Amino acid sequence: MSVKTDSTPVPTAESRQRQQTNLEIWSERLAALAPLWTLVVLGLLFGVASQGSFLRSVNLNNIMVQSSTLAILATGMTFVLLTGEIDLSIAAVMGLTGMISAKLFNSGMAEPLPTIIALGCAILMGLISGIASMRFRIPTFMTTLAMSMIADGLNQWISGGKTVFTLSEFMQYLGSGRIGGDESILRVLTVMSIAILLLGFVILRYTRFGRYVYMTGASKSAARLAGVNTSAIIVACLVISSFLAGLAGIANAGRLGSALPLAIPSYLIETIAAVVLGGTALTGGRGSMLLTGVGVLTYQTLRNGLDNIASIDNFMKVFITGLVLFVALIINVVFSGKAERDRT
Amino acid sequence: MNTMPVLELKNISKRFRTLQALDRVDFDLREGETHALVGENGAGKSTLMRILAGIYSEYEGDYLLDGQPVHFNSPAEALHRGIGMIHQELSVMPELSVAENLFLGQQPLTPFRMLDWRKMNRVAEEELAKLGFEHIDVRRPLEKYSLGTQQVVEVLRVIISGARVLIMDEPTTALSPAEIERLIELIDVLRKGNRSIVYISHFLNEVMRVADRITVLRDGKKVTTIARTETSVDALISLILGHEIKTEMPPALIKQHERVMLDAKDLTADVFTKINLQVGAGEIVGLYGAIGAGHFEVARALYGLYRFDQGSISVDGKPFPRNFSAHYAIEHGVAYAIESRRKSLFMDEANYKNITLPHLARIARIVPRQAQEIKVAESAMKVVGVYPPDPVNPVGKLSGGNQQKVALARWLTFPPKVLIVSEPTRGMDVGAKSDVLSILRTLANQGIAVLVVSSEPETVLAVADRIAIMSRGNIVAHMENKNLNKDILMRLL
């Protein structure tokens, strides 16, 4: 039975452990990256099915642009979901900040004041939801839901239900400007979203605050016993999420060329979907910011890919998107869940 | 007593990779018998018990039930044949009523396939009355009752689901002495009802009271099976350890308490009143009480986790503000290891992350470097002797004793002024226990004020210089740990 160990020199406890688990470690690492493999497979599938039109650089660039706003939102949402909480107000906050900065600009205020004030409002909203939740022990699910109605209501009130078409140059630059002249393919929004996502990654992975975020999500009681102020961490994450939603709102208005008097609710669900597609657990403590980026790309690939396949009936597209999303979720969540938590 | 074995294990062996957990062990259980399994952690009791209960289905050897060979692939199969297990951590649903808990998973139904509440409550009442627990209201939520009662309900639930063999894993760890008495009475009743019980416990005094026969395991092998009447606690301990008991405690340093490290004055909250406690540098004080006496809450209050209405706390002469936080306590030299390792440790996370978390701010203002964290954790783990000493190993993969060592190692990185430990040795084997206790003594000898909060008299007696005894929220006695024994402590409760 144990012939093998008898015939070889006795390894140290450590090296024996390594030998036994080398293969396991690799399979774990591969499984942890399941969202990435899903993205690659989806991309290849669409590439073949669309006879190459999906993989054209114009289209890939399109996906990047479409992903940008979502990536900013998803960065904030990843912080919140990692603590085991949720922020339902992002879509409404997004709409509100676009409107506030547009209205202030039109009232004669010079940039960057309108942007700063709008972002200040976003921060305040996150702060209020967070403090209300922590102080009165109301689930963030409810406080941020209420906050989403408050923000959307304010938006409607301020705008009087009218879309604002005159935006500051700064907003337009954020939303549709290009770095290095109009011919450049480098969009300000794309670069900004990648920078934000990477910054989020660095904060989560390498800073003390990031560790506290993970530990708060992994076990609130244990984190509190270790002296972590879990309430403050959760409030901070809600503030980050709200701030980034505000930034996304201003940039998105700039991209569309108008500030809408209503929130676009689908942004909320799409953000959560993208983060979960990246393998972040809704229960907290587990997930990675880079994979959130992958999740965002996967989601947009899904939305975009079918448009490139001419033979598909237009009325079937949503149905197929739903099916593929289902399968992708199962693969990503099951595999990255099975893999051991980030070993850093 | 019928001597025909209900259940028999013959030549059972079980391997986990390189570890021989059980090596040709025989075990038999007679009808109406309480058969205790004792041994250190790692001796194989839990493995044997899991084979009995159908949790492990792969093993070598024979399992006979009523003389017939059987093989269980799941606990459900075992329960179906009348073998039920009561886990150390209760698996009751506190929010459900007593009756619902008793019928969990097998609620009686009306002819229309709806829950038959009336029948459920009636049968529950009958079953409780049969065993002398008619004072329990079956309609109340179980959480309204004490842990002891919850334990009783769990036992009854397994019996109602048809078990004639009950496997009890450390049933008394969380119980107060009075509740233990009641459980022992229940075991007597069950014995008279011809149920057979496998009783696993670290508490040899209890084993000596409830068991008819005792099987001692050591290193996966059966040492012996003896009748209770032919042995004693001391004899059992030497059988378990394989040698005479050695005490390797470092000697207590004699200290004048010129430096009071922890000074609590007149602490009052809902569950305790006017608590006065002083712990000097280098001293170990035991705070002993039955479950529910309020001593655990005092510990939490000292760490900023339990709000108190009156009184003051100062550490090393420095008064703490009114509603200080755990973070404040840590920064001002208070460390606290709570009774539940599951609640205080991140089981899926690496040892080093668990150890450095309270001190991250001191290790690095903003960006902690992994290499440095690991170094810090490694040296702390070496001091307490965690095995295996791998800092990136998740805590959840360690044994209970080693998890507790990690929980202590956490506080060694930056030695605190005051260390509060609740139930430092709960659920541990003899060896791990004495390891942990001697770690506490070593820490005290370095000048740390140690407060050991426990409901296990053995623990405080073994380690404390002074003992304060709490009963119903008050400190009722306070004495030097000289010529004290369990009887004295129990009498004061």
The confidence band for A290, taking pLDDT boundaries of 50, 70 and 90, is very high
Cis before residue B388, ω within 30 degrees of 0? yes
Give residues 283 to 322 of B whose Cβ lies within 8 Å of A.
Answer: 305
Share of chain A above pLDDT 70, in %: 91
Percent of chain A that is helix, strand, coil (3-state, to 5)? 75, 0, 25
| pLDDT of amino acid A11 | 39
Nearest CA in chain B to A202: B367
**Which chain B residues have a beta carbon less than 8 Å from that of A215?**
346, 349, 353, 357
| pLDDT of amino acid B493 | 62
* A24 in a structural domain: no
* A63 in a structural domain: yes
Helix axes A169-176, A188-206, angle to 10 degrees: 70
Which one of B17, B327, B370 has the shortest CB-CB distance to A229?
B327
| pLDDT of amino acid B41 | 66
Take residue B177 and report the two structure tokens written for it.
Answer: 């002495």
The residue that leads in pLDDT, B450 or A11, is B450
Residue A26 has pLDDT above 70, yes or no: yes
Q: Check CB contact under 8 Å for A343 and B350.
A: yes
Ranking A183-197, B180-194, B240-254, B436-450 by mean pLDDT, the lowest is B240-254
* A48 in a structural domain: no
* A343 in a structural domain: no
| pLDDT of amino acid B45 | 87
Residues 6+ apart with CB under 8 A from B127: B102, B156, B159, B160
Residue B432 has pLDDT above 90, yes or no: no
- What is d(CA B169, CA B203) in angstroms, rounded to the nearest whole number? 12
Cis before residue A112, ω within 30 degrees of 0? yes
| B273-288: pLDDT as tens digits | 899 999 999 899 999 9
| pLDDT of amino acid B244 | 63
- Which strands make up the sheet holding B19-30, listed edge to edge? B19-30, B5-16, B60-65, B68-69
Residue from A20, A225, A229, A338 to probe the interface with B (highest B Cβ count within 10 Å): A225
Average pLDDT, integer, range A185-210: 93
**Which chain B residues have a beta carbon less than 8 Å from that of A221?**
343-344
Nearest CA in chain A to B411: A226
Take residue A83 and report the two structure tokens written for it.
Answer: 């603590």
Q: Check CB contact under 8 Å for A341 and B370.
A: no
Residue B490 has pLDDT above 70, yes or no: no
Element (H, E) at A233: helix A230-256
Average pLDDT, integer, range A33-62: 86
Ranking A248-252, A314-318, B391-395 by mean pLDDT, the lowest is A314-318
The confidence band for A295, taking pLDDT boundaries of 50, 70 and 90, is very high
How many structural domains is chain A composed of?
1
Average pLDDT, integer, range B359-380: 86
| pLDDT of amino acid B224 | 92
We find that the CATH architecture of domain B5-241 is 3-Layer(aba) Sandwich (3.40)
| pLDDT of amino acid A4 | 38
Q: Check CB contact under 8 Å for A219 and B388.
A: no
Which residues of chain B form CATH 3.40.50.300? 5-241, 260-492
| pLDDT of amino acid A131 | 96
Which one of A13, A14, A227 has the shortest CB-CB distance to B326?
A227
**Which chain A residues have a beta carbon less than 8 Å from that of B349?**
215, 218, 341
Residue B4 has pLDDT above 80, yes or no: no
Nearest CA in chain A to B355: A226
- Number of residues in chain A: 344
| pLDDT of amino acid A92 | 96
Residue A18 has pLDDT above 60, yes or no: no
| pLDDT of amino acid B133 | 80
Report yes or no: B42 and B66 within 8 Å, Cβ to Cβ.
no
Q: Per mean pLDDT, which of A123-132, B154-163, B228-237 is the most reliable?
A: A123-132
Residue A328 has pLDDT above 70, yes or no: yes
The confidence band for A208, taking pLDDT boundaries of 50, 70 and 90, is very high
Instruction: Chain B: give the shortest CA distance to residue A277, in Å.
Output: 22
In whole angstroms, how far apart are CA B233 and each of A243, B202, B350? Answer: 66, 11, 39
Nearest CA in chain A to B341: A222
| B193-230: pLDDT as tens digits | 889 999 998 778 889 999 999 999 988 899 999 999 99
**Which chain B residues have a beta carbon less than 8 Å from that of A208?**
360-361, 364-368
Q: Check CB contact under 8 Å for A5 and B336.
A: no
Q: Check CB contact under 8 Å for B349 and A208.
A: no
- Which strands make up the sheet holding B284-289, listed edge to edge? B334-337, B418-422, B449-454, B284-289, B466-471, B474-480
Residue B413 has pLDDT above 50, yes or no: yes
Average pLDDT, integer, range A38-64: 86
The confidence band for B37, taking pLDDT boundaries of 50, 70 and 90, is very high
| B86-127: pLDDT as tens digits | 876 667 888 899 998 888 877 888 888 888 888 899 989 988
- Beta-carbon pairs below 8 A across chains A and B: 77
What's the number of CA atoms in the CB half-sphere (13 Å) around residue A322?
5
Q: Check CB contact under 8 Å for A20 and B344.
A: no
| B38-50: pLDDT as tens digits | 987 668 888 899 9
Q: Check CB contact under 8 Å for A218 and B358.
A: no
Single out the residue of B221, B273, B257 nearest to residue B11, CA to CA.
B221
Which one of B331, B357, B390 has the shortest CB-CB distance to A228?
B357
Q: Per mean pLDDT, which of A138-152, B13-27, B30-44, B384-398 is the most reliable?
A: A138-152
Which one of B358, B364, B366 has the shortest CB-CB distance to A226?
B358
Residue B302 has pLDDT above 50, yes or no: yes
* A8 in a structural domain: no
**Which chain A residues have a beta carbon less than 8 Å from that of B344?**
221-222, 225-226
Domain of residue A139, residue span: 54-338
Q: Per mean pLDDT, which of A60-69, A76-85, B186-195, B216-225 is the most reliable?
A: A76-85
| pLDDT of amino acid B418 | 94
Report yes or no: A299 and A6 within 8 Å, Cβ to Cβ.
no
Taking all residues of chain B, what is their mean pLDDT, rounded to a whole number? 85
Instruction: Chain B: give the shortest CA distance to residue A207, in Å.
Output: 4
Residue from B60, B336, B357, B422 to probe the interface with A (highest A Cβ count within 10 Å): B357
Which one of B17, B18, B361 has the shortest CB-CB distance to A208?
B361
Residue B169 has pLDDT above 70, yes or no: yes
| pLDDT of amino acid B62 | 93
Average pLDDT, integer, range B370-385: 88
Instruction: Chain A: give the shortest CA distance to residue B396, in Å.
Output: 12
Options 2.60.40.1180, 3.40.50.300, 3.40.630.10, 3.50.50.60; CATH for B260-492 is 3.40.50.300
Residue B369 has pLDDT above 50, yes or no: yes
- What is d(CA B257, CA A318) in angstroms, rounded to the nearest whole number? 76
Q: Is B336 on the interface with A (CB under 8 A)?
A: yes
Q: Helix, strand, or coil here: A187?
A: strand
Ordered DSSP codes for A285-315: S---HHHHHHHHHHHHHHHHHGGG-TTS-GG
CATH number at residue A141: 1.10.3470
| pLDDT of amino acid B256 | 54
Residue A239 has pLDDT above 70, yes or no: yes
**Which chain B residues have a beta carbon less than 8 Å from that of A340?**
348, 394
Which one of A5, A16, A211 has the shortest CB-CB distance to B368?
A211
Nearest CA in chain B to A215: B346
The residue that leads in pLDDT, A96 or A179, is A96
Report yes or no: B345 and B358 within 8 Å, Cβ to Cβ.
no
Residue A125 has pLDDT above 80, yes or no: yes
Instruction: Chain A: give the shortest CA distance to residue B29, in Å.
Output: 32
ipTM of the complex: 0.77
The confidence band for B257, taking pLDDT boundaries of 50, 70 and 90, is low
Share of chain B above pLDDT 70, in %: 93
Average pLDDT, integer, range A65-90: 95
Residue A182 has pLDDT above 90, yes or no: no
Q: Check CB contact under 8 Å for A208 and B364.
A: yes
Which one of B336, B392, B410 has the shortest CB-CB distance to A343?
B392
Ranking A93-97, A243-247, B233-237 by mean pLDDT, the lowest is B233-237
Take residue A126 and report the two structure tokens written for it.
Answer: 């996150």
Q: Check CB contact under 8 Å for B368 and A208.
A: yes
Q: Check CB contact under 8 Å for A343 and B18.
A: no
Ranking A142-146, A318-322, B452-456 by mean pLDDT, the lowest is A318-322
| pLDDT of amino acid B486 | 66
| pLDDT of amino acid B173 | 67
| pLDDT of amino acid A94 | 95
